[in-house]
Chain A
Amino acid sequence: MMEAQLLQFLQSQLGTQWSLVEPVWPLLWSLMKIVAILAPVVAAVAYLPYFERKVIAYMHVRIGPNRVGPAGLLQPIADALKLVFKEIIVPTQASKVLYVLGPIMALAPALIAWAVIPFDAGLVLADIDAGVLYLLAVSSLGVYGIIISGWASNSKYAFMGAMRATAQMISYEVSMGMALIVVLMISNTLNLSEIVAGQGRGMFAEMGIGILSWNWLPLLPMFFVYLVSGVAETNRSPFDVVEGESEIVAGHMVEYSGMAFALFFLAEYANMILVSAAVSILFLGGWLSPVGFLPDGIWWLIAKISVLLFLFLWLRATFPRYRYDQIMRLGWKVFLPLCFVWIIVVAIWMLTPFNIWQ
């Protein structure tokens, strides 16, 4: 609809020159949509560290950044400027091409995954039937940025950090995938928009308390597994042994400086937002309103993502870092068996007369 209006406007404005634009119009239109999605995401990524520093500061009874601009609001811009003007140091004997490729490979998957995230009914860049699979496939690519940069830096610390990160991310991807399987079982679709739509149906949704018909309640253990695995997947505290300031300084990014380092930083925050968006869509009803008398809309999705992001920061301010063997134990010996059991429980549940997902 918007495209048609825009087309009409452009045709009337450009007149004869429209024939020059016409062959590349689909490309232009796609690019416009991509910018419309990524610009807010990148802005959020820029301000999330500021938000994080403020939140943690208040939890520590400090003030946090307050020097640059009013209430420190220009701090992200100052940080970005500083990083842009810093020299990117390439270690001797580093594998140069891979060294540059590493940060790019870390950031790119976190951004291309947004292609299938539905923001509202019909408001999605690519409404594909295999959206969940796409999300899984793309998020599993993020490992390459870490492993490549760790290896290419030609440094023991970076390599150790990359090894840890890779093992951790692969382990938690398994339980994330398993938790997703349960969601797919009850939604009977791989399309993210339809998963959200499915959460708006049911007994409670008809009674006007939609919040109780979302997936988080019947799948509470899976919601928990997915959320915690998401935190581990993004290498956030308390699972941030990857950075492990006290043991391996900064893990795979120890040799990076300037903008190359900033890309890792951005990738981490972009992944946080992505995981929050995925949790909101799969378990918290996406753009659906929690109560019947308020309208559905994109603002609900934004609110849910913000609450989950706050949870991420809250966790960081609250918990000490996990020990590495405990992380592995949690992933393989606690979450994975729990997922297996819950898959069977839900499968049996769906065969009984108490099936609530008809």
Chain B
Amino acid sequence: MEFKTFVFYVLAAMLLLAALRVITAKNPVHAVLFLVLAFFSAGSLWLLLQAEFLALVLLMVYVGAVMVLFLFVVMMLDIDVARLRHRFWSYLPLGAVIGLLIAVQMALVLGGNYFSADALPGHAMPADYSNTKELARLLISEYYYPFELASVVLLVGIIAAVMLTLRARKDTKYQQPHEQVAVKREDRIRMVSMASEKEQPSVTETPAEKQGGQ
């Protein structure tokens, strides 16, 4: 067995195990962390396929940002696992059917004429071939409009989420950091010019008596 194949099987096993644990883990935080592991293994598999751009972007976007926010939310929620599971068995047949459908679809696609391994073009690429560059070229030439459209859809999603959760309360007191930062010394303190020494009342008692008095 080639070393690459061995690595592939190790990573694939890790991916499957992690994915399985996502749905079987008792603690939701553990489930999210297993999902992170699953993403990580998938990214490593892509690295094996020499799709380093996609792999690193998967790590950066999903592992580095999306899953952290996910973890953030899951950690703060009070999730009652028992209540989530109480109709597990009654939903199982429906879930199993959907899972089976997905598996059949994937089998049809991968076993069909277009995506099966021998239908794909060969992998013999020139040494300086960079799929990052190829991807960028396609994105800004052929797929320019779909790409822009996707970003607009995402923007709409962001605005919608902000508008749904925006709850402006009139009675909330909050600070304006830009005003605080812009504060000048003159706004806060008043300089009073005065003599640095105050004239002492004339001293009548002797120094010894003064020391005793203190």
Contacts and interface: CB of A to CB of B under 8 A. Distances in A.
Interface of A: 95, 98, 128-130, 133-134, 136-138, 140-141, 143-144, 147-148, 151, 159, 163, 166-167, 170, 173, 190, 323, 325-326, 329
Nearest to A138: B59
B178 to A, nearest CB: 8
A244 to B, nearest CB: 18
Nearest to A150: B75
Nearest to B57: A133
B36 A325 contact: no
A129 B60 contact: no
Given A98-B33, A140-B64, A325-B175, A130 B56 contact: yes
A167 B65 CA distance: 10
A253 B167 CA distance: 34
B130 interface: yes
B177 A329 contact: yes
Contact of A148 (B33, B59, B65, B130): B33
B56 A134 contact: yes
Interface string B142-184: 0000000000000000000000000000000001011001000
B71 interface: yes
A94 to B, nearest CB: 13
Given A325-B177, A329-B177, A151 B75 contact: yes
Nearest to B178: A329
A130 B63 contact: no
Given A326-B177, A329-B177, A143 B64 contact: yes
A130 B64 contact: no
Given A143-B68, A144-B36, A166-B72, A133 B60 contact: yes
B128 to A, nearest CB: 9
Given A137-B64, A173-B64, A130 B53 contact: yes
A54 B30 CA distance: 43
- Interface centre among A136, A137, A190, by most chain B C-beta atoms within 10 angstroms, is A137
A137 B72 contact: no
B75 A129 contact: no
A332 B166 CA distance: 18
A329 B176 CA distance: 10
Contact of A141 (B63, B72, B132): B63
B71 A170 contact: no
A130 B52 contact: yes
Given A140-B63, A173-B64, A326-B177, A147 B72 contact: yes
A163 B75 CA distance: 10
A133 B56 contact: yes
A325 B69 CA distance: 19
7 tightest A-B CB contacts, nearest first: A140-B64, A137-B59, A133-B56, A137-B60, A137-B56, A130-B52, A329-B177
B14 interface: no
Contacts of B52: 128-130, 133
Contacts, number: 66
At the interface, is chain A mostly helix, strand, loop or mixed?
helix
29 contacts: A98-B30, A98-B33, A128-B52, A129-B130, A129-B132, A130-B53, A130-B56, A130-B132, A133-B60, A136-B64, A137-B57, A137-B59, A137-B64, A140-B64, A140-B65, A141-B59, A141-B64, A144-B36, A147-B71, A147-B72, A148-B33, A159-B75, A163-B72, A173-B64, A173-B65, A323-B177, A325-B175, A325-B177, A326-B181
At the interface, is chain B mostly helix, strand, loop or mixed?
helix
A133 B68 contact: no
Given A98-B30, A147-B71, 12 more contacts: A129-B132, A130-B52, A133-B56, A136-B64, A140-B60, A144-B36, A144-B68, A147-B68, A151-B29, A190-B132, A325-B177, A329-B178
A322 to B, nearest CB: 10
Interface in B39-75: 52-53, 56-57, 59-60, 63-65, 68-69, 71-72, 75
Contacts of B72: 147, 163, 166-167
A329 B60 CA distance: 23
A145 to B, nearest CB: 11
A237 B33 CA distance: 30
A95 B75 CA distance: 13
Contacts of A163: 72
B56 A170 contact: no
Contacts of A95: 27, 29
A95 B57 CA distance: 30
A173 B75 CA distance: 22
Contacts of B69: 170
Contacts of A138: 59
Contacts of B64: 136-137, 140-141, 143, 173
Contacts of A166: 68, 72
Contacts of B181: 326
B65 A170 contact: yes
